[in-house]
Amino acid sequence: MAIYRFRVTFEDYEDVYREIDMPSKATFLELHQAIHNATGYTPNVSSSFYVSNDQWKKGTEIAFLPTERKQSNGVLEMEGIRLSKFIDDPHQKFYYVYNFDRPYDFHVELIKILKEEDSKEYPLVSKTVGTVPKQVAAANFPLSTADEEDDEDEDLPTDDTEYGVDEDEDFDLFDGEEEEGEEGEGTRGAEDEY
């Protein structure tokens, strides 16, 4: 059996990656789980692989825990799709979005096709480079509800400062301009009319 070696790289942390060897008959769900065994992240959250081109443009979606809308649109689901079904290129790429609530984006690239070795157990993390970013716990950032969204204004600053400007300060934006017939008044007279 063929073994696919994937390099899994954080999109925003290119110096952090894992190389994972997967059997060609494995499913995308098994790859999803192998990535999280290698990173220590929780695997039981909504995530998706996208078949990609060399520019990492997202194509066909293969989802884990898809939304009802995605299900009704016929999205492919990870547990039913073998990796070999979407390996058309010896350097096949997949764009992977982990946890749509607090997403991390990954580039998953096939870098080598190997022969299975009897002495090894797959999936196998064959190389580890860098320390993965700390996962933000969902408990620290609960999902907002409609009621919470109404209360969002309570968290805003209560002073009158906006973008570093105190609205109580007196600024004459048109220095040197004077209204017709009123010398020395500048634009203050025009502002007072409003």
**Alpha-carbon torsion (168, 174, 178, 180), positive or negative:** negative
pLDDT given for residue 81 in this prediction: 97
pLDDT given for residue 135 in this prediction: 76
- Indicate the DSSP class of residue 163: T
How far is 105 from 14, CA to CA, in rounded Å? 11
Long-range Cβ contacts of 53-58 (<8 Å, 24+ apart) = 53/93, 54/93, 56/93, 56/95, 56/107, 57/95, 58/95
For the chain, list the domains and their CATH numbers: 2-136 (3.10.290.30), 157-193 (no CATH)
pLDDT given for residue 136 in this prediction: 59
How far is 183 from 19, CA to CA, in rounded Å? 76
Digit-by-digit pLDDT tens for the chain (194 residues) are: 999 999 999 999 999 999 999 999 999 999 999 999 999 999 999 999 999 999 999 999 999 999 999 999 999 999 999 999 999 899 999 999 999 988 999 999 999 999 999 999 999 999 999 999 987 554 433 333 333 334 444 444 444 434 344 444 444 444 444 444 444 444 444 444 44
pLDDT given for residue 35 in this prediction: 97
pTM: 0.70
How far is 157 from 142, CA to CA, in rounded Å? 21
How far is 111 from 90, CA to CA, in rounded Å? 7
**Chain Cα centroid distance, residue 70:** 18
